[in-house]
């Protein structure tokens, strides 16, 4: 059988990877991925063959994974977090139509919203929306609209891709939109490098978040109107009577 696994490896450390993901990697001969993610697992699987491409060459990376699977090598396409959350599983499945003999198996991983929420406490106890601030593949106007509507709906909001070298002011712009509906005192949090060296978590108000600069390895949490800062934790009450 020709097999291509699309695997979410979790936030970073091997201990954050599911056993199912570990077993799929062990069964694969070739590991394909963005070099930053490949570097996270290479030491644990030194005998595998690796193929990496830079960030902007996702299509080439997926095509190579499919070509090699079609030739008979069991391939693992790895993504950080979950492969179906701003990852590669969608593109792989679209391109896989050209390779009917290759079976694609998607293996779930712990996405940054989940691992980050756990570090902060319990911010996602109620309805939440996940929005990426990257306008590489989505027009900025659409991102703004989603931010506005999520804030209007009083969702807890998780922001992925909050910054990059070319987009250093996007978090500030996003906060300004959220502040049209949300109070400046809204409880927020950010977590950087979850499960990796240099991990850091912080809770702060929306007003303070607006003036904070973050890097691309950060996931940002904006509470709903009920979310509280409790000690150093972020908690969104579910509504239970105490």
* 69 CB neighbour count, 10 Å cutoff: 28
Check residue 67 for interaction with ligand SAH (CB under 6 A): no
Name the β-bridge partners of 233: 230
Shortest spacing between CB 186 and ligand SAH, in angstroms: 19
User: Residue 161 or 186: which CB sits closer to ligand SAH?
Assistant: 161
Applying CB under 6 A, which part among 67-75, 146-154, 167-175, 192-200 lies near ligand SAH? Answer: 192-200
Which is closer to ligand SAH, CB of 2 or CB of 31? 31
The residue whose Cβ lies closest to ligand SAH is: 81
Q: How many residues in the shown chain lie near ligand SAH by CB under 6 A?
A: 25
- Does residue 155 interact with ligand SAH by CB under 6 A? no
Residue pair 163/213 in contact (Cβ under 8 Å)? The answer is yes
6 binds ligand SAH (CB under 6 A): no
What sign has the CA pseudo-torsion 35, 165, 150, 94? Answer: negative
Q: Which stretch binds ligand SAH (CB under 6 A): 117-125, 137-145, 160-168, 221-229?
A: 160-168
The DSSP 8-state label assigned to residue 36 in this structure reads H
Q: CA-CA distance, 18 to 155, in Å (whole number)? A: 29
Q: 10 Å Cβ neighbour count for 106?
A: 20
Place of tokens 């063959």: 49
Best CA proximity match to 29, nearest among 9, 3, 56: 3
The pattern of x and - marking residues 114 through 143 that bind ligand SAH according to CB under 6 A reads --x---------------------------
CA atoms within 13 A on the CB side of 7: 31
Residues engaged in binding ligand SAH (CB under 6 A): 11-12, 79-82, 85-87, 111-112, 116, 160-162, 191-196, 216-219
């Amino acid at each position: 059988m020709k097999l291509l696994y699309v695997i979410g490896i979790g936030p970073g450390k091997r201990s954050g990877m599911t056993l199912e993901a570990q077993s799929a990697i062990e069964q694969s001969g070739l590991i394909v991925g963005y070099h930053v993610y490949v570097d996270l697992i290479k030491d644990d699987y030194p005998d595998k063959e690796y193929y990496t491409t830079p960030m902007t060459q996702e299509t080439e990376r997926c095509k190579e994974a499919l070509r090699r699977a079609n030739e008979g090598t069991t391939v693992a396409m790895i993504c950080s977090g979950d492969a179906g959350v701003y990852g590669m599983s969608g593109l792989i499945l679209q391109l896989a139509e050209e390779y009917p003999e290759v079976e694609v198996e998607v293996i779930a991983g712990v996405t940054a919203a989940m691992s980050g929420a756990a570090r902060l406490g319990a911010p996602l106890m109620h309805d939440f929306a996940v929005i990426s601030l990257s306008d590489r593949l989505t027009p900025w106007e659409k991102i703004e609209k989603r931010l506005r509507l999520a804030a209007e709906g009083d969702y807890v909001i998780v922001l992925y891709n909050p910054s990059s070298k070319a987009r250093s002011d996007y978090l500030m712009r996003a906060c300004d939109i959220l502040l049209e509906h949300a109070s400046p005192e809204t409880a927020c949090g950010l977590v950087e490098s979850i499960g990796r060296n240099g991990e850091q978590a912080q809770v702060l108000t929306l007003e303070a978040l607006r003036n904070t600069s973050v890097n691309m390895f950060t996931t940002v949490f904006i509470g709903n109107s009920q979310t509280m800062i409790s000690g150093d934790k972020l908690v969104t009450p579910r509504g239970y009577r105490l």
